[in-house]
Amino acid sequence: MLLKKSFLFLLVFSILLTGCKNSFSDYGKNDSSGSENVSKVSEERQVSSHINPNVPQFISYNGNNITAWVNQFIFTGDGKIKEQSPYGDRTYVKLSYLKDGVIKTVDLTEHALHYNLFNGVEYITASSKGKYIVVQFSSDLPISIIVDTDTNNSKILWYNEAKHESMMSISFNPNNEDEFAFLPSADIKGPDGTHTLKIYNLNNDLIKTIGEIKEEKISMSKALIKWDGDKIFVVTADGKHLFSFTVR
């Protein structure tokens, strides 16, 4: 079974990479009156299409009994995400996952367009047994979307929907499929230098504060959260700050 999953993932990965290469090589094929102009027209088209160069077009995850990947192709202009390029190429963000030998896909494009998430998805994680997949979009206030792989339904993990504040740096409890630790996106820079680590339960929608990080002048953007028994560790992206909390 493991061999079969690995083969399927490698097969899908190869197809997707080939598709990405073809999408670039096809640019300008019908716009040139001579073979010498094909390369120039193709380059000009890519520039005028405003493909966001900071967005990885393929992100993968393999763990917790599930293999998942995101394909994203995002066009921008005037600091905003665009539905399509001047040449009609469309923006898309799609999460696919392999579970029990079946590939399923969830289209996240509308979320990206609605909330102007022009920097796309930055990482993927999953719950301990693969029931839930979470993707986090990079933004001034990052937005996380959770997918239930039993139903293929998705929703935004709001911390404060009215203010468009989401949960970020999601890390699932390895002993509880329905519970994860997170940081509120509103606290990226921290009110008065304080950040709060919280736990969310998907069964009852309860949020519990585990502790505060009282450290001034640090950003928790892209911070990592790690469970270890009754301890939860939070480390900043630069690795210079490590915080430990006991779960009671």
Q: What is the pLDDT of residues 77-101, one digit of tens each?
A: 888 899 988 888 899 999 999 988 9
Whether the per-residue pLDDT at 69 is higher than 60: the answer is yes
What pLDDT, on the 0 to 100 scale, is given for residue 14? 53
Report residue 49's pLDDT band, with 50, 70 and 90 as the boundaries: low
Give the whole-angstrom CA distance, residue 191 versus residue 27.
47
Per the model's pLDDT, the better-predicted residue between 221 and 16 turns out to be 221
Report residue 28's pLDDT band, with 50, 70 and 90 as the boundaries: very low
Burial class (CB in 10 A: 0-12, 13-18, 19+), 114: exposed
With left for phi above 0 and alpha for psi between -120 and 50, is residue 205 left, alpha or beta? Answer: left
Give the whole-angstrom CA distance, residue 245 versus residue 241.
14
Q: Look at 20-24, 59-63, 88-92, 190-194 and tell me which has the smallest mean pLDDT.
A: 20-24
Whether the per-residue pLDDT at 39 is higher than 90: the answer is no
137-156 pLDDT, tens digit each? 998 889 999 999 999 999 99
Closest by CA to 96, choosing from 108, 112, 83, 111, is 108
Whether the per-residue pLDDT at 26 is higher than 70: the answer is no
166-202 pLDDT, tens digit each? 999 999 999 999 999 999 998 877 777 788 999 999 9
**Maximum distance among all Cα pairs of the chain, rounded to whole angstroms:** 71
Buried b (16+ CB within 10 A) or exposed e, 41-80: bbeebbeebbbbeebebebebeebebbbbbbbbbbbeeee
pTM for the full predicted model: 0.79
Question: In this structure, are strands 80-82 and 66-73 parallel, antiparallel, or unpaired?
Answer: unpaired
